[in-house]
Amino acid sequence: MTNNVIEPKRVLVTGGAGFIGSHLCDCLLARGDEVLCVDNFYTGRRRNIEHLLGNPRFELLRHDITHPLFVEVDEIYNLACPASPIHYQVDPVQTTKTCVMGAINMLGLAKRLKAKIFQASTSEIYGSPHVHPQVEDYWGNVNPIGPRSCYDEGKRCAETLFFDYHRQHGTKIKVIRIFNTYGPRMHPNDGRVVSNFIVQALTGQPITIYGDGNQTRSFGYVDDLITAITAMMETPDTVTGPVNVGNPVEFTMLELARLVIEMTGSSSELRHLPLPLNDPHQRRPDISVARRVLGWEPTVQLREGLRATIAYFDSSLAAGHAAVDDASASISRII
C-alpha cells in the first residue's frame, strides 16, 4: 500500500515576529510544518508570536539577517525588513543592509541547502509610477537618492540578487510584490495610513491627511496576502515571479478617513499636512498574473477587513499595548 502521508517541512521565516511574518507563522504551523522564526525585534514584537511559544513545532531565534545564519531548513521565507517609512528612515543605512546583505545571506543559505526561498518584495519597486495600474513588467520610477531610497532601491537590489542567484546557481526562488496590506498586529506607530487613521479615530485625535487626500491606495487584508504567499511557494519551480499581490480596488485617503470615522463612531476631525517627498500619487496593482498563475484574488472587502482591524486596535488600546504617541515620539523611542 502506498503511503501518501506528506512529511512536514522545517521552514525558516525571517521577520517572523512582524505583522505579516507572525500571520505566516500561524498559517505554516496550522498546516503541520515546523517553524523557525527569526527576528531581531527592531519592528517585530514578541506579543505577535507569544501565543506560539508553547507550540513544540515553533522555535524563536533573535538574529539580524545582515549577519550569516547557519541552520538546516527545507524552505525559507524572507520577510525581514522594516516596511513603513517612519521606521525604515530612522536608520536608512541599516535598512539598505537588511535588504541587500540580508538577501545575500538568505540566498547563500538557500544555495547551500538547495532550499526553495521566497522574497517579500514590495510595490515600492515601482516608485511614483507613470503606469497605472502597475504591471510586473513595468520597471518603475524610483528616486535613487531620496529619503525613501534605502527601502525602494534596497528592495530593487534584492530582486536583482534573487534572479541572479536563480540564473547563475539554479536557486529555486519565489518573488511577490506586496501592495498596501493591513490587519490585526499592525504596529500602532508604523506611520501607515490604516493604522494611523484607526488609532487616531479611536483616541479622538485629528485624522492626519497628507496633501489634499485625493491620492489613492489599494488595501489588501493580511489573510488574503498569506493565502497568496503560500500559494506562490507551492507553484512549480519554473514559476519565479515577480507577482503583484494586492487588492485592485482603489480608494482615496479622504474616502478611507471617512470610512474609519464612520466605523469607529469617532468625532475626529480631518487635519491636512504637507505631502511627504516622493510619496506616490497613485498605487494599484494589476493582479492578472496572480489570477492566472496562483488562481488567487482577494476575497476580503475593505469594510470587513477594517472591522477586524479596528477591533484589534480597540482591544490593544484598552489593554495598554498600543501607544498613541505621534510620529516623532515613535521615532525617538526607536532611536
Residues with a known catalytic role: 151
Return the residue matching grid coordinates 487584508: 221
C-alpha to C-alpha distances, 321 to 167, 183, 186, 324, nearest whole angstrom: 46, 16, 12, 10
Contact 289, 136 (CB under 8 A): yes
| Beta-sheet pairing, 250-252 with 216-218 | antiparallel
Integer Cα distance of 109 and 116 in angstroms = 10
Integer Cα distance of 163 and 88 in angstroms = 24
Q: What are phi and psi of 207, to 5 degrees?
A: -80, 115
Integer Cα distance of 324 and 223 in angstroms = 25
* Omega before residue 133 within 30° of 0, cis: yes
**Number of alpha helices (DSSP H) and beta strands (DSSP E) in the chain:** 10, 13
